[in-house]
Structures are given as C-alpha cells and as structure tokens.
Structure 1
C-alpha cells in the first residue's frame, strides 16, 4: 500500500484496481485528480487513451495527476500514449494502474518506473458441500451473497472450485468449462448473482456424475 502522493509518472501493478484507487485518492487534492478508465469493462481501450491525451494537454498551473486504470491495456491504446508519456506536458503526472504486468508493452516500461504491489492472497475453500448440493443450500448461499462485488464473485467461484478439489470430486472437461465460463462472464460485467445461480444449479444437476 502506498501512503503518500506519487510525484512522478509511475506504473503500479496491483491486486485490485478499485481498492488501490480508494487507498490512493485521499492523498491527492480532488481538483487535481483525473481518473480515466473504461466504465463498461476493465480493459483500457483507445477511447480511454484519447481522453487521457486530451486531458493532459489542458493547461494547469498546479501539478495534475492523471490515473490510467485497467486490468489490461490494449496495445493500440498504449501506442497512442507513447509520445505523451515520454514527453508529458508541464505539471502532468501519469499514474498507470493495472492488475496485469504482462499486458503493458516494453516500450511503456522503458518510459515509466513501476512498482509491483501485487501480493498473493489466500483463497478460502467454500463451506458448501458440493457432493450433496441441493436447492436449499443454493438458496441460502445466494441469499447470503446477493450483493457481492465483481471481485468477490470471482473469489467465490474459485473457492467453490477449491471445494470440489478438496472433496476429491472429479470434473470432466464440460464441468470445468462451467467454472471458466463463469469467470469470463463476471469479467464481462454479468450480474454476479446470476452467474453464481447458473454455476450452482449446474453443479447440483451434475452431482450424480461426481
């Protein structure tokens, strides 16, 4: 966790975009901060790059901090940012925040220092009994988790898969695909409660094959 203002353009590789923003932003004067991200999904696209460039060239007498946020960054978006990152306008600091170091082009890394803040997280095994999963279990589980966030939903899906392994239940390829499809749907901003419902109902129907 960074507990001070970042004074120079920097890349931050983190576990979670929103958590990092919520920890950083309080250290900056609100009127000097611009946050640019894709509101529909976590990928930083050419549209966000164009906004960043436009914002960078709006003159400021004080130092302005432009946060570029994305779980991943499209190559064309990064290429369009190269010039402004290499020679930023006066009083402009770029802070690029991502969860995927591999998505950042070497040409960007050569222009900006980076801090790797990503930490390993312990994944809990779900308390659900997958081998005996019934509609009552599913209903209670969904009721408890009806207002979870996108990242919490992904953690739950991983914890359910860990429970499957913990119970030594054998999954065939189609059953494994249920989990990978669920993660992809969450990343595409599908409602977590709907994805979890489909996943658990599928597991319940297939439990006889475990």
Structure 2
C-alpha cells in the first residue's frame, strides 16, 4: 500500500499505471494533474511544457502534478530543472518512473526519492527452446505484440532463466545476444522487434547445431 505523498518526490516503482491507480484516489480530484505521454512510454518535451504551464496556473490550494514515464527525454528533464528546484507556491511535483537510471543526476539530486519496487519472482518461459520453430515464434509474438518495454525485459530474462534451468549450453555470442536485447530495450527499441530478433537468432543457432 502506497501512502499519500505530501511533498515533491520521485517514486521508483514496478508498474507506473498500477501506482497511479493506487495513489490518485488519495488526492483531491480538482487539484491533481497526471501528465504522461499517451502514445509512448517516454516523457518528452511536450509533456514537460505541459507540466510547466500547469504549475504556473495559480491555485490557493496545493496542486499535485504527477510526471509519469518509463523513460524521460533528456531535453524534457533539462527544461524541468528550474521549476523543480523552485516550484511555484502550493505546487507539488511527483515523478513516477521504473528506474533511477531513467533520470539525470541533476533531476535526481533535487528531489527526495522513495524506492517502492518490489522483488518479482521471475518465471521461466513457456517456449520450448530445444524445439523452437517459426510457428512457435509467430504464435508467441502474436500473443505479445503490445507489451511494454518492462514486460519485454521480463520475457528476455525468463527465456534466459529457462536456458539455465534446462542446462542448455550457449556460446558466448549467444549469451551476449541476451545482453544486447536488454540494452536495446533500455534504448527504447520497439519491444516486439527486439523479441523477434532474439527468438529468430536462437532458432537459427539451434538449426546450426
């Protein structure tokens, strides 16, 4: 259970939407604003501009402005620096994100943070890695075509967990491909593209053996 956050803070959480749904009922509806990118998971300059405009709309009551994003564009963060350091009267900023690394040190050093991420038990993938074929890959990707970046990272980790549990021997090149997949997701590559590349790579390596 997440408690009411009274002062400007950064919240590091597992799931942004779940956190918003849990927190918002605790705040007065008329003086709460949620600012996020409806099309992407990244908080961009347009959202930063919106947040700044909202902050300067005068209010005699405390106004709570939630800034939400899996990642925050560097330009957006830089434009928020001054207002986070010297917010208008009665304005509270609450940044909600999945990782400390999504924020610049200049942002992170300005606000207190609460680390609310809970350890998730990773489950191994249901894919049969020893008999991976194009039909399996197609069906799997079809089921997961609209997943988030974090969900894609969990899938990559679940596949690697299955590799370990089934004692499947991978070459250094194959292991590095998992690391590369995680890195691409961190750089905001489309999750479905990263998973497609990884699974086709594994199927191709299996056929070579």
Give 5+ residue unaligned stretches, structure 2.
none
In the alignment of these two chains, the number of paired residues is 207
Could you tell me the TM-score, scaled by structure 1's length?
0.78
Please, what is the CA RMSD of the aligned residues?
Answer: 3.1
Offset at 1:66? Answer: 0.6
Tell me the residue number matched to 1:125.
124
1:103-122 superposed Cα distances (whole Å, 9 cap, x missing partner): 43444344322111123222
| Pairing 1:203–2:202 present | yes
Q: What is the distance in 2 between the residues matched to 1:142 and 1:108? A: 37
1:9-34 superposed Cα distances (whole Å, 9 cap, x missing partner): 11111222222222212222333222
1:47-106 superposed Cα distances (whole Å, 9 cap, x missing partner): 322221111001123322111122333444333323222222222111011222134344
CA separation of 1:189 and 1:63: change in aligned 2, threshold 3 A:
farther
Give 5+ residue unaligned stretches, structure 1.
none
Could you tell me the TM-score, scaled by structure 2's length?
0.79
Q: How does 1:183-202 map to 2 (within 5 A)?
A: 184=184, 188=188, 190=190, 192=192, 196-202=195-201
Offset at 1:130? Answer: 0.7
Q: What is the distance in 2 between the residues matched to 1:5 and 1:176? A: 42
Q: What is the distance in 2 between the residues matched to 1:18 and 1:35? A: 11
Offset at 1:187? Answer: 6.6
